[in-house]
Chains A and B, each alone.
Chain A
Amino acid sequence: MITKDDIVEWLKATAVVLEENAQYLTDLDSPIGDADHGINMDRGFKTVLSKLPAVVDKDIGTILKTTGMALVTSVGGAGGPLYGSFFMEAGKAVAGKMELSNEDLVNLIDAGLKGVVRIGKTNLNDKTMVDAIHPALEALRQAFADGKDTIEALRLMTDAAYKGMKATIPMLAKKGRASYVGERSIGHQDPGATSAYLILRTLMETIESRYRSK
């Protein structure tokens, strides 16, 4: 079971991770984008931090929807609507819940991914965050089908997200600003897939450390 408090800790830890990786994400964005992804995500999750205290006692759905709204209004660029939609749709999928079953967890990420695809009109292999989230979701689903426990399943999800992120390196970008540099986008890891991997890895690490300490 993943609790409301676990989710809050995940979001707080994500803010720390994105701050630490702001320069790294921006460096990835420089050759194929406009060098602002790290700065934008850092600003976005700092805004999330400022909105969390008002909803920490609410259900997970409300916490995630608040996170999405905070990102939409503070990130800007494409990252704002994309990550905003991810968290808002994820929140709708688990509305009212104070705890998440394994099935809820799959539904949460599935709804988030669908939100991203709808507003971004993004397909797999377009060299976007979808290339990290989609395999992560499939791995999570498979892990639960294979009878793995939550932590093991989250580890497998994170591995898949990592592979998905790395798989963007040889891809030709077909969406977003990276698509404008044409062939030159080949050979660069996608910053959006990277931030998506970091967010999912932080979920795994948060749950792992909280369960280990319990």
Chain B
Amino acid sequence: MKKLINKPEDVVKEELEGIALAHPDLVKVHFNPNFIYRADAPVKGKVAIVSGGGSGHEPMHGGFVGPGMLDAACPGQIFTSPTPDQMLAATKMVDGGAGVLYIVKNYSGDIMNFHMAADMAREEGIRVLSVLIDDDVAVKDSLYTSGRRGVGTTVLAEKICGAAAEKGYDLKSLADLCRKIEVNGRSMGMALTPCTVPAVGRPTFELGEDEMEIGIGIHGEPGRERMKLKTADEITEMLALSIIEDPPYRRIVREFDEKKGDWVEFELESPPFKPGDRVLAFVNSMGGTPDIELYIVYRKLHEICEKKGLKIVRNLIGRYITSLEMQGCSITLLRMDDEMIELWDAPVRTAALRWGM
């Protein structure tokens, strides 16, 4: 293992210390329990947005804390969900009196820990709603798995919801908007190389020189299928068509119902893409793939979208949701409407995403 680290057990702590020193105008870092929060928190009267997940996906989520996006991010150990005490402390720190929205990626650990944190926060009198992101089309069904993983759409939901919170959306409207983004986004990723978790010291899986892994998540876990390496155009086509031709996706989600005062389960359906749709196209590096290759992917993605009648109205290209140093990419398409476009364009000021302010 060759990494720019000191001791494996200090990686997350030292990263957070670096973030605190680098961006004091944007964020503060709380240690034990660990969380990153807006330097001007709590913002009175604004719904706060808290997200979190394992570390190793940088810049997500800590790099998205700041005006126009997240109020706090809870980093866990590498690829391991954070714990409820972190989330509860972050929630109390950023609640400006209008409630807190949790944006949670669909991983068993994240769901259970955020669930416990939401219950604890409500016991302390803070309104909390949570919305799940499960957009990874590599997972075909939800009957025999824990359902689709939360990947690229998470970044877009955090940006768009962050802008809406700044505009004054109340907690319920913000959760509804987040759910709208959730059902309109789809993603798929692939890896050229595995990655190495510092505490483990060796790659999470083996991949031959001429092989690639299709349908990976973001935790260095193996994907759905291993195959011979293909060209950028062929890979882009495989990912893009999996997304564009994905049929309606139905799953049962669990959210807290404030009227009933309990968690309720209901069915949610993601409609498929169709000609005429306006989309945001997001080409993301898994960490080790350089921009030069991402643009080659985008070039082909643009061509495919045009052929399929999808109009790319916004794009995002770069390294935003990663698996450490893994080489590979993911594609996310998000169906946009006027409300989402306006909120996407609204100012944002974070370490990793910044425009308009």
**Chain A residues with a Cβ under 8 A of chain B:** 26, 30-31, 33-36, 39-40, 43, 72-82, 119-120, 172-177, 179-182, 184
Contacts and interface: CB of A to CB of B under 8 A. Distances in A.
B200 A81 contact: no
A155 B305 CA distance: 62
Given A30-B205, A174-B145, A120 B108 contact: yes
Given A26-B200, A73-B85, 7 more contacts: A35-B204, A76-B113, A77-B80, A174-B144, A175-B146, A180-B138, A180-B221
Interface string B116-142: 100000000000000000000011000
Interface in B213-227: 217, 219-224
Interface in B181-237: 197, 199-200, 204-205, 217, 219-224
B169 interface: no
B109 A81 contact: yes
Nearest to A121: B254
Q: Report, nearest first, the 5 A-B pairs whose CB atoms are least far apart.
A: A81-B112, A179-B145, A77-B109, A78-B109, A76-B80
B284 interface: no
B107 A120 contact: no
A46 to B, nearest CB: 12
Contact of A180 (B76, B82, B139): B139
B81 A80 contact: yes
Interface residues of B, number: 37
Contacts of A74: 83
Contacts of B319: none
Interface of B: 33, 54, 76-85, 107-109, 112-113, 115-116, 138-139, 144-146, 149, 197, 199-200, 204-205, 217, 219-224
A39 B219 contact: no
Nearest to B113: A81
Contacts, number: 111
Contacts of A181: 221-224
Contacts of A79: 109
A119 B115 CA distance: 9
Contacts of A43: 77
B116 A72 contact: yes
Contact of B145 (A77, A80, A119, A180): A180
A80 B109 contact: yes
Contacts of B221: 33-34, 177, 180-181
Contact of B220 (A34, A40, A76): A34
B249 to A, nearest CB: 15
A180 B204 contact: no
Given A39-B199, A174-B145, A76 B109 contact: yes
A175 B84 contact: no
Contact of B83 (A80, A120, A177, A180): A80
27 contacts: A31-B222, A33-B221, A34-B80, A34-B197, A34-B221, A36-B197, A39-B199, A40-B77, A40-B80, A72-B116, A74-B83, A76-B54, A76-B76, A78-B112, A80-B109, A82-B112, A119-B112, A174-B145, A174-B146, A175-B146, A177-B108, A179-B145, A180-B145, A180-B146, A180-B221, A181-B221, A182-B224
Contacts of A182: 145, 224
Of the candidates A39, A73, A81, the one having the most CB atoms from chain B within 10 angstroms of its own CB is A81
A200 B222 CA distance: 30
Given A74-B83, A181-B221, A34 B204 contact: yes
A40 B85 CA distance: 16
Contacts of A80: 81, 83, 109, 112-113
Contact of B146 (A35, A76, A77, A179): A179
A36 B77 contact: yes
A124 B220 CA distance: 27
B96 to A, nearest CB: 26
Contacts of A81: 84, 109, 112-113, 115-116
A181 B225 CA distance: 8
Contacts of A30: 200, 204-205
A25 B149 CA distance: 24
Given A119-B115, A180-B217, A35 B83 contact: no
A174 B145 CA distance: 5
Most central of B81, B144, B146, B197 by chain A CB within 10 Å: B146
A177 B219 contact: yes
Nearest to B86: A73
B283 to A, nearest CB: 22
B189 to A, nearest CB: 12
A33 B54 CA distance: 14
A36 B80 contact: yes
